[in-house]
Structure 1
Amino acid sequence: MLIRVRSKDGNFRFELQPTDDISKLASKILETASNPDPATLTISDRPRGNETLVSTLKGSTLQALGLAHGTLVFASYKSREDTAGPATQAVESSEKAQAVNSAIKRPWETVQEDPVDTYWRSQEGKIPRGRDSRFCKHGANAMCDYCMPLEPYDVAYHAEHNIKHLSYHAYLRKLTPKTSATASSTALLPPLSQLSYKVKVPCPSGGHPPWPAGICTACQPSAITLQSQPFRMVDHLEIASADIINRFLHAWRMTGQQRFGWLIGHYEPYDKVPMGVKAVVEAIYEPPQEGDLDGLTLGLPWEDEPRIKALAKAAATPLQIVGCVFTDLEPLPEDRTKTRYKRHAKSFFLSSLEAIFAAHIQTANPTPSRSSPTGLFASRMVTAVLTGTVDGDVNISAYQVSEQACAMVEADMIEASVDPGIVRVKEEDRSQESARYVPDVFFRYKNEYGLDVQKSAKPCFPVEYLLVNVSSGSPQNPSPLFRSTTFHIENRPGLENQTVEGVLRELSRLRAPEIPESGQGGDQQLRAVLAKWLSDWHLVAFLGTTQLISPEDMQVLIRTATAPNLEDPTVLDALIRTDGWQTLMTFTRETAPPPRPTSSAPSGGAHTSTNEDIPPDIFDQIARQEAGEGSGNIRICQFCTFENTHGGSDCSMCGLPLS
């Protein structure tokens, strides 16, 4: 077969066999090159990007790499230094090649992908279709063009079901050559490469000083045409329980100030989209922040990030940060129970400042991928906004920004505008301190005559060209990983305060020190109530800051809190055996209230009884009435179910308002 090669030394054609090793093609390329360094030889299927070192492909045949008759290969390499002699050059290149072969491994082979990616790679992924009674004339066990399964990237199916973007794995199936069905997946050139709009430093041609002193067509980025991204990394954002959002919204309802939180969850297959992926949110962690009526101030990176990530990863179902959420709510002046509807098609969905922030978050959290030469591609971080609806209610909208947006932010090309729906393109800067090259940027739109026209994006363009929509919702039958949302939320000073004393009081009320391991008896109902109370993300995260429980014991605690069956009598056994739990129980006993009186009847009466004759709930009722100064009016807190007898408006246990 004929392989075409284009390099900086010209265009060449080589006659090779499909079963030839890639090294044979490499040797022919090097023969046509002028003073090349073999260790730097790369090949690609495009003029720029997706370059792969030939040394990492050793042992692969041309056919296995997807090279067919007439394929055009783009080769690049660096020249040796002219000052070195031929003998020295040969020795250095040989040593360098050996070092590269021994030190460099294929990154995409060793990467550890998310379980949802492993699942979809093992599935056929085709869209099943039933037998069509109008056109199918065959038997029940046969198949024809009208009922055979569709590819996951089928255009007609997506248009019929109003699916705007391909899922990540459907997009991969579309890009993967047909030979992948018979060839090893690790033998193929990875089809994905991350976008980069930065100037290549140093220049591959080596013919001029590096940017900003010089620039040429070999090192400068090409012109950019903004377009809708054909795929999305996450197809759906699922909130495991409505209580998660309600607790997050409580701070805004009490103060009117906006809030921000990190979404803690995991990824699962999503059956509403071919080969889809959904992010399931199990909790929200609120970092230190300063809220305002129309915005908030946030510090990045946040100090507690490594601890929170390690804690989430140790859960029974490993968790991670899957995105972020913030509020943008404004009550109506005429009706404070309703919110203003300000994010819609005639205004904006995600402001330019928020889109740039989302790009920073996505760039900092790439997705491990076996389909990228670097082992990383794009990001699954979702940006969610809680905002008002047309009916005055509160709704959650979810977005990602495109790979073009991330590349433009990384190249320092764009900035936010005063108009939230507009993105500004920065001016080029050739100063040595902050050199910035800005290529031509265009976007296409339909004018008033319905014609598709192209327009320069300088100095600004609409923010929607950078957005990727993600659907959102909650399951009809919630089954959250954390069964409780009653504990105080972190970093809400003055509104909700997390204290060790409050934890010890609640442990005492739940009679935690009296609960032994399952094999030693004990009240099973008490055990289940305690297990449910411990199954609270904010409680577990707070206990990790008290220094009472070691990091090893914290892993046992988070696994207990996220156990699939809290009714299991043995669910608490591993936790009870830890030193951290025993320390916590020691402090609980020391802070326990004094014992109740041993008798309640006057002496000399007709009947005398001890406290053993009186049901314990009578003592509880007396204590509640005394605490409520004799009112006897019991109010149940809807968040923590604590029985309040005082006349105040807030719960004495969790501090939240009583309904």
Structure 2
Amino acid sequence: MLIRIRSRDGNFRFEFNPKADVSELLEKIIESSPNANRDTVTISNQPRGNEAPISTLLGKSLEKLGLKHGDLVFVNYKPREDESAAAPPPASTPAASSSTSQPSRLWETVQEDPVDTYWRSKDGMIPRGRDAQFCKHGAKGMCDYCMPLEPYDAKYHKEQNIKHLSYHAYVRKLTPKSTLSSSASLPPLEPISYKVKIPCPTGDHPSWPEGICTGCQPSAITLQSPAFRMVDHLEIANMEIVDRFLQAWRKTGLQRFGWMIGHYEPYDKVPMGIKAVVEAICEPPQEGELDGLTLGLPWEDETRIRQLSANAATPLTIVGYVFTDLVPDEEDRTKTQYRRHPGSFYLSSLEAIFAARMQLNNPTKTRSSSTGMFGSRLVTAVLTGTEDGAIDVSAYQVSEQACAMVEADMIEASVDPGIVRVKEEDRSVDNARYIPDVFFSYKNEYNIEVKKSAKPCFPVEYLLVNVTHGFPQAPEPMFQSIQFPIENRQGLEDQTVDGVLGTLARLDAPNIMPSIHAPAGESPKRTELARYLSDWHLVSFLETTQLMSVADIKLMTRTVSRPMLLREPALLDPVLQCEGWQTLMTFTRESAPPSRPQTSAPSGSNAMDEDIPPEVFDQIAASDAQGGGGGGPRICPHCTFENYHGGSDCEVCGLPL
């Protein structure tokens, strides 16, 4: 099972056996927090309170401790250097006193996404052509009117109507040019936190809620539009992916939820931009309703899906989630109601808080933060009705301020979907909650900027970040088919082994050989087989059947996710040659229904045989079985057809034999 650990050193994830001893959890905590004093480590199931020294829990299993898959464990400890400073140095080892343990530089060991590696290798400068009016130099010269602009240039963004800086443009803006290529420089980003610091850095009073001071309490919050966004664009690789997702709603009228599987790429419409490309939608177990849905979290299949998707030709991950909010129009059932617009809401307060929780659970690994983590690239997509009654995608993220407020348990949903409520302060020991002052600003009727207290509530728009979306003009999806039944659609679509074997039999898969041994003319059959196999939902289902080994499933995932698969059928050869495929073909042959025996025309027959109805051959076979044809064939002297029945007239020409 997956256990998440949150400490002052950041967020970490580790896999454990449910029956593993708590000591294994302790070792992972020490591994992620090398500066922790082992004897002072405490764990809790909530950010504040309920801490238990882990040393008192040793000998118990994780499942007996009540931990389940996906649980978040809050860790606290005293640093080792604190104790070394309090204790006198040993007389025999004077050098030991000067070699105190230093906190590890976590950001230096982070493995970033390939898109981050790409942008770190570029300067991101915005090229400009020669200005015909102001440039007075030669073709190879450069001046202030044509020199490249920095990726964070405010004038350029205003001219291009780009509301937010991209993540890497923002990092470039914060990083001094002299230290851009220096690994010794400190990261420019620090995660936002609105929680009381425990223990207080001053050490002058008991920890919250017994005491609080300016040194440990969070500052007042002013909600404002983010200066940057983690993802600039959401691209869905194929329109069919969305259409297939909508089929469940079209058949039932119930709302639907799905995790978007994809990868991140550079986005050229924004300086140093990043886009999330969706290659498939995986639907978890859920209960749809007319006006919402019920979803089970944590998602039990998440670890398996992440591991499987990482084996694709281009490694995939969960880039976001999508849900429907669709209601047919009362007057015209072919259209949908326009529910989300400037006069109502874009994301409800409940959806925004849910998005914040999901983003907190999926942080982005980065070298630009002291914790090795900052923000999230998880995108929230909504399929909802447009003003003209059609269906369109809207994409959002919530701000870093929103995530920090949810993490500090400061806000909650309201009855009005467009309003967020600020919670009341709570000084109880079990559920201590400190609420700093919260403000938001707006322009009044005189167009004057006014600051207003956000207590007890404020508009949800102050937490949202818009993300553009679209479809590629020349689609090249990784998966060529989306016709296989989709998971967790009970009663609508069923994923069965018999269905897979039946389709493979119809495609004549057992007789399709690797390209080096294939007979001439087999290419169309191989292409159709490749198209059928290149389906995310099929590969995901096959993994659960255990008909193929883990290694063979990895091979299949990597092979069928290549965009060139249909144009180069030989790419399918590794799958056709693996042991798991041979096992699958054995089951396919054994499960195929017996075919009716074909009666071939005798060697002496002519072209008239082709006009003989199949019933005639059935009658002949039945007659032979009863011994009616024991005398052998009788050759018609008129048409030379070989008659196997015992009659006196030819079956073909009708003349006497």
Normalising by the smaller structure, the TM-score range is: 0.7 to 0.9
Paired position in structure 1 for 2:407:
410
State the distance in 2 between where 1:221 and 1:532 align: 56
Judging changes above 3 Å, is the alpha-carbon distance between structure 1 residues 604 and 150 closer, same or farther for their aligned structure 2 residues? Answer: closer
State the distance in 1 between where 2:240 and 2:195 align: 44
State the distance in 2 between where 1:564 and 1:438 align: 52
Q: Deviations over 1:414-473 (max 9, x none)?
A: 000011110000001111111111111001111111111111000000001000000001
Paired position in structure 2 for 1:634:
none
Supply the AA of the counterpart residue of 2:119. W
Supply the AA of the counterpart residue of 1:238. E
Report if the CA contact (8 A) 2:560-2:572 is conserved.
no
Q: Does 1:419 align with 2:416?
A: yes
Identity of aligned residues (%): 67
Supply the AA of the counterpart residue of 2:220. A
Supply the AA of the counterpart residue of 1:305. E
Q: State the secondary structure of the residue aligned to 2:530.
A: helix
State the distance in 2 between where 1:83 and 1:100 align: 11
Q: Per-residue deviation at 1:86? A: 4.8
Q: Deviations over 1:144-165 (max 9, x none)?
A: 1111111111111111111100
Supply the AA of the counterpart residue of 1:138. H
State the distance in 1 between where 2:402 and 2:194 align: 10
Q: State the secondary structure of the residue aligned to 2:367.
A: coil
Q: Per-residue deviation at 1:180? A: 1.9
Paired position in structure 2 for 1:286:
283
Q: State the secondary structure of the residue aligned to 2:134.
A: coil
Report if the CA contact (8 A) 1:518-1:573 is conserved.
yes
Judging changes above 3 Å, is the alpha-carbon distance between structure 1 residues 82 and 586 closer, same or farther for their aligned structure 2 residues? Answer: closer
Q: Per-residue deviation at 1:248? A: 0.2
Supply the AA of the counterpart residue of 1:343. R
Paired position in structure 1 for 2:593:
593
What are the equivalent positions in structure 2 for 1:565-584 lying under 5 Å apart? 565-566=564-565, 567-584=567-584
Larger CA deviation: 515-524 vs 453-462: 515-524
What are the equivalent positions in structure 2 for 1:372-411 lying under 5 Å apart? 372-411=369-408
Supply the AA of the counterpart residue of 2:394. S
Paired position in structure 2 for 1:165:
164
Q: Per-residue deviation at 1:374? A: 1.0
Larger CA deviation: 204-213 vs 310-319: 204-213
Q: Does 1:564 align with 2:556?
A: no
Supply the AA of the counterpart residue of 1:455. K
Report if the CA contact (8 A) 2:438-2:455 is conserved.
yes
State the distance in 2 between where 1:601 and 1:185 align: 83
Q: Deviations over 1:170-213 (max 9, x none)?
A: 101110012125xx431111000100111111111111111111
Q: Per-residue deviation at 1:577? A: 2.3
Paired position in structure 1 for 2:251:
254
Judging changes above 3 Å, is the alpha-carbon distance between structure 1 residues 256 and 180 closer, same or farther for their aligned structure 2 residues? Answer: same
State the distance in 2 between where 1:392 and 1:91 align: 83
Q: State the secondary structure of the residue aligned to 1:327.
A: strand
Judging changes above 3 Å, is the alpha-carbon distance between structure 1 residues 438 and 600 closer, same or farther for their aligned structure 2 residues? Answer: same
Report if the CA contact (8 A) 1:602-1:608 is conserved.
no
Paired position in structure 1 for 2:466:
469
Paired position in structure 2 for 1:148:
147
Supply the AA of the counterpart residue of 2:484. F
Paired position in structure 2 for 1:449:
446
Report if the CA contact (8 A) 1:599-1:609 is conserved.
no
Judging changes above 3 Å, is the alpha-carbon distance between structure 1 residues 543 and 224 closer, same or farther for their aligned structure 2 residues? Answer: same
Residue in structure 2 matching 1:330, options 327, 330, 335: 327
State the distance in 2 between where 1:355 and 1:602 align: 76
Larger CA deviation: 119-128 vs 590-599: 590-599
What are the equivalent positions in structure 2 for 1:10-409 lying under 5 Å apart? 86-87=88-89, 95=96, 98=99, 100-101=101-102, 104-181=103-180, 184-409=181-406
Q: State the secondary structure of the residue aligned to 1:477.
A: coil
For normalisation by structure 2, the TM-score amounts to: 0.78
Q: State the secondary structure of the residue aligned to 1:395.
A: strand
Equivalences, count: 535
State the distance in 2 between where 1:584 and 1:92 align: 67
State the distance in 1 between where 2:210 and 2:367 align: 37
Supply the AA of the counterpart residue of 1:100. S
Q: Deviations over 1:342-381 (max 9, x none)?
A: 1111111111001001001111111111111111110100
Task: Report the aligned-residue RMSD.
Answer: 2.6
Q: State the secondary structure of the residue aligned to 1:519.
A: coil
Report if the CA contact (8 A) 1:126-1:149 is conserved.
yes
Supply the AA of the counterpart residue of 1:163. I
| Structure 2 unmatched runs, 5+ | 1-34, 37-78, 615-657
Judging changes above 3 Å, is the alpha-carbon distance between structure 1 residues 156 and 458 closer, same or farther for their aligned structure 2 residues? Answer: same
Larger CA deviation: 171-180 vs 567-576: 567-576
